Chain A
Amino acid sequence: MKFSDTIVCAVALLGIAGCSSNSVPQFETSQDTGKLFQPARDAVESELQAAFGTPENLVVWPDLPVDFGSFGGSIEKVTTQGTLVVPLAGQSALATDERLPELSGAAVLVAPAAGGEKGAEGGENAAAVYRVAHYDPESKTLRVVDENGKPTQVTAAEGDGVQVIGDGLQKGRNLYLKHCMHCHGVSGDGDGPTAPYLKPRPRDYRKGIFKFTSTKTGVRASRDDLFRLVKLGVPGTYMPSFMLLPDDEVSAIVEYVRWLSMRGELESKLVVQLALDFGSDQIGPKRTFADMSTEFDAFRGSDLPDIVKSAGEELGADWSAPEDAENLVIPKEERVASSLESIARGRKMFLSEKTKCYSCHGETGAGNGAATEEINDLPGQPGVKAEVPGLFDAWGNIVKPRNLQRGLFRGGRRPIDIYRRIHSGIKGTPMQAFGNNLSDQDIWDLVNYVLNVPFEKKTQASH
């Protein structure tokens, strides 16, 4: 019977070993934050913690234009300690009835009913914060726990308003960690475990820049852009299509990616403000660590809260803009039908001094223009020459202008996609926006030419 004992032992060992390797995902701070002196670094980290939390414990910052997935209702009855009867209804696109049985861990705000003007004047602190332990849509009972997951007493009365927020974000987080994290990283820094093996590198969201958008120059990516990109993938890169994920899951992932981008942007906005005065390299004989700490304490007390607040407002404005139809690139004129004449006009435009397309994409569209062999400025540092020849993107990687002969279009192959690439450029890359200099007719000719480049020899031969 020794034999079966061994099996039991082996199974037990496997069980123990299998569970012990669990690691908790963490947001990592950027390299730039690492260059600040310690108290400033701590301050950035604590501001990020306050506004975004950790992957385990997400924080909802209501100022951000993110669909956190909120439900609301008013209390019908307080049954026992920590259990309320509340009919909950979704208040946003990500808050659907199917989510109700799965609500767990989302934040619960219980605010006294607006029973008279007093309650409203009572201040913002009136709402008490709990977390959902369980919600049963049948009996409409909501069991809540305190922020640490411990049973708690709820001070609430019939008619009080209940808000459950952050469920959509949690769903997005779970899906992101399952499908996206291993390339794009937990913090969205494009540096997940598989990232070192990929070229081109996975997108680093922290600049808030996405290359292929339907929006105007300088405007962030819209939800639709990211949705489409996740569904269809980016041909020619390692970004695969997630066509089989249900639409609601893709929307949740998109929302989480937008939120991660905002987190990264807030971090860099704070670092930009702090790097001038509080870099760790500025500690020296003239300015000791103690001097700097004193200065920083004063700064932290007076200026930092305002900086965070205005950064939040900027994020709010920047990330709502792409949802505004006014900021979408919509051609005024219909596409000029692809004809030999239009293609010829497009080719002329491609080779003209007005556009200089050829300087990067090459005269035959092979992506080997002269600019790829020149020493260019480093991204974001005008006047500072790179050590190696080539074109750089905003992330500091060398990018090759698209080889148009291959017929692979990363941002999509529809005429409108290529129109938008030409009209508002490819964000974060040397591909400029030509929308202000070219008429719709010119751009459509260029689109027709670009779409025809892979077939060029055939067109000429048959003519």
Chain B
Amino acid sequence: MNKFWPLFFCFWPIVAVVAFWISPAMNWWFPGMAMSPLGQQIDNLFYMILVIVGLVFVGTHIGLGYVLFRGVAHEDEKKSWFSHGSHKLEVLWSVAPAGILLFMSLYQLDVWMRYRVKSHFPDEVQPIAEVTARQFEWRIRYPAPGKALMPTPQPDDLYTVNDLHVPFGRPVMIRLRSMDVQHSFFVPELRIKQDAVPGTVIPIWFETVDEGDFDLTCAELCGWGHYKMRGRVFAERESQFQHYLKTLQAEQDYDGVRELGSTGAQIAEYSRGPHKQAGH
């Protein structure tokens, strides 16, 4: 029974190490592979931190196990003694982590700047849509096909909700706004998380490596309906994206006379993903 606690405290670190070791292969660590180049770099940062923290974790737990087992092995009851500490040791375990933290903060600067600092954005990235978060949906405004997005609404702008279509293979930018409270634009598969703050317009750029549809969720508790504030990001071929804008334009100019099919069917067409529109 004496060995129960030493074994108990050694068992969990081993479970943890095994879990972290196999988790990348089992896809437990991230929500799928990063679908953007910048996202892959962000993943690499996470892995770097995992390695550093993992080494420290394994080291300290080997030490802890050693101390526990030695303590159990001592049969004689000695009085415990109180240490006022070792100045050298304290300096060491303060400076070493500080050095590691400094290294991490400097090492990630490059990725962070590319992600957040305007002067480090890709050269010819242009805003393709304005996404306005509101309780509890994402309202999206596109410029008319062939035009640039203006800061203020234009008469020929196109509007939709909860479905953000973007072309893949090139960097695109969206302008993020909020109509009411603070929300957060979170696309886990693209490794994007950016708060939408009322009163400001925040540019976010990203590049999607392949076509697909990704979950868009709100990552800032924004009210009772926060959980239902879901959208989708469709990454599609440039031609499909242009076709989408044209369909949206036809729908938005619909005057009830010119033939377009039933309104329900039209909307149904928009809510379908790129996989189902593969014919175009």
Which residues from chain A sit less than 8 Å from chain B, CB to CB? 179, 182, 194, 214, 223-224, 227-228, 231-233, 235, 238, 240-241, 243-244, 247, 329-335, 338, 407, 413-416, 419-420, 444, 451-452, 454-455
Q: Say which residue of B252, B255, B267 sits within 8 Å of A334 (CB atoms).
A: B255
Stretch of B34-42, B61-69, B168-176, B227-235 contacting A (4+ beta carbons < 8 Å): B227-235
**Residue in contact with A194 in the complex, picked from B224, B253, B271, CB distance below 8 Å:** B224
B163 on the interface (CB 8 Å rule)?
Answer: yes
Q: Are A414 and B137 in contact (CB under 8 A)?
A: no
Q: Does B262 contact A (CB under 8 A)?
A: yes
Q: Determine the chain B residues whose CB is within 8 A of the CB of A331 once the complex forms.
A: 255-257
Contacts of B268 in A (CB 8 A): 247
**A241 lies within 8 A of B256 (CB):** no
CB distance from A337 to the nearest CB of B (A): 10
- Chain A neighbourhood of B161, CB < 8 A: 232-233, 235, 241, 243
Instruction: Decide if B271 touches A416 in the complex (CB within 8 Å).
Output: no
The smallest C-beta distance from B4 to any residue of chain A, in angstroms, reads: 11
Pick the contact of B263: A179, A224, A241, A247 (CB < 8 A): A224
26 inter-chain pairs at a CB distance below 8 angstroms, sorted by A residue, are: A182-B224, A227-B264, A227-B267, A228-B264, A231-B267, A233-B137, A235-B139, A235-B161, A238-B135, A243-B161, A243-B162, A244-B232, A244-B271, A247-B271, A331-B255, A331-B256, A333-B257, A335-B257, A414-B251, A414-B254, A414-B255, A415-B256, A416-B254, A416-B255, A419-B255, A444-B255
Residues on B with C-beta less than 8 A from A330 are 256-257
B159 is an interface residue with CB less than 8 A from chain A = yes
**Residues of B close to A247: CB separation below 8 A:** 268, 271
Q: Which residues B216-246 have CB closer than 8 A to chain A?
A: 224-225, 228-232
Contact B252 A414 (CB under 8 A): yes
B232 to chain A, nearest CB (A): 7
B30 → chain A closest CB, angstroms? 23
Additional 14 contacts, C-beta under 8 A, given A214-B263, A244-B230, A452-B155: A182-B224, A223-B264, A224-B263, A231-B271, A240-B137, A247-B271, A329-B256, A330-B256, A335-B253, A338-B155, A420-B256, A444-B255, A455-B154, A455-B155
The verdict on A224 contacting B255 (CB below 8 Å), with A194-B224, A231-B271, A241-B162 known, is no
Contact yes or no, A228 B254, CB < 8 A: no
Q: For chain B, give the interface size range.
A: 20 to 34
* Shortest Cβ gap from A346 to chain B (Å): 14
Residues of A within 8 A of B256 (CB): 329-331, 415-416, 419-420
Contact with A along B153-190 (1 / 0, CB 8 A): 11100010111000000000000000000000000000
Name the residue on A nearest B229 (C-beta): A240
Tell me, rounded to whole Å, the shortest Cβ–Cβ distance linking A339 to chain B. Answer: 12
Is B136 among interface residues, defined by CB-CB distance under 8 A?
yes
Question: A331-B255, A335-B255 are contacts. A244–B162 as well, Cβ < 8 Å?
Answer: yes
Residue of A nearest to B265 (CB): A224
Cα separation A437 to B161 with both chains bound (whole Å): 35
A451 touches which one: B137, B155, B251, B263 (CB < 8 A)? B155
- Interface membership of B78, Cβ < 8 A: no
Q: Verify if B87 is at the interface (C-beta below 8 Å from A).
A: no
Please tell me if the beta carbons of A407 and B153 are within 8 angstroms of each other in the complex. yes
Is the CB–CB distance between A240 and B225 below 8 Å? yes
Task: Give the complex CA separation of A227 and B271 in angstroms.
Answer: 12
Q: How far is the CB of B212 from chain A (nearest CB, A)?
A: 16
Docked CA distance A351–B139 (Å):
32
Is residue B147 within 8 Å, beta carbon to beta carbon, of the partner chain? Answer: no
Q: Give the contacting residue for B271; candidates A243, A334, A338; CB below 8 A.
A: A243
Q: Is the CB of B139 within 8 A of A232?
A: no
Contact A232 B257 (CB under 8 A): no
A416–B260 CA distance with the chains assembled, in angstroms: 12
Whether the Cβ atoms of A415 and B254 lie closer than 8 Å is yes
Q: Is there an interface contact between A415 and B255, defined as CB atoms closer than 8 Å?
A: yes
B258 at the interface (CB under 8 A from A): yes
Q: B163 — nearest CB in chain A belongs to which residue?
A: A243
- Separation of A247 and B273 alpha carbons in the complex (Å): 13
CA distance A414 to B263 in the complex (A): 11
A337 CA to B253 CA, complexed, in Å: 10
B262-280 toward A: CB 8 Å interface, digit per residue (1/0)?
A: 1110011001000000000
Distance from A336 Cβ to chain B, minimum over Cβ atoms (Å) = 9
Contact status of A228 and B263, CB under 8 A, knowing A241-B137, A243-B163, A243-B271: yes
Distance of A212 from chain B, by nearest CB (Å): 12
* In the bound complex, CA of A214 to CA of B264 (Å): 12
Tell me whether A228 and B267 are in contact (CB under 8 A). Answer: yes
| A235 proximity list for chain B (CB < 8 A) | 139, 161
The docked-state distance in angstroms from the alpha carbon of A243 to that of B153 is 23
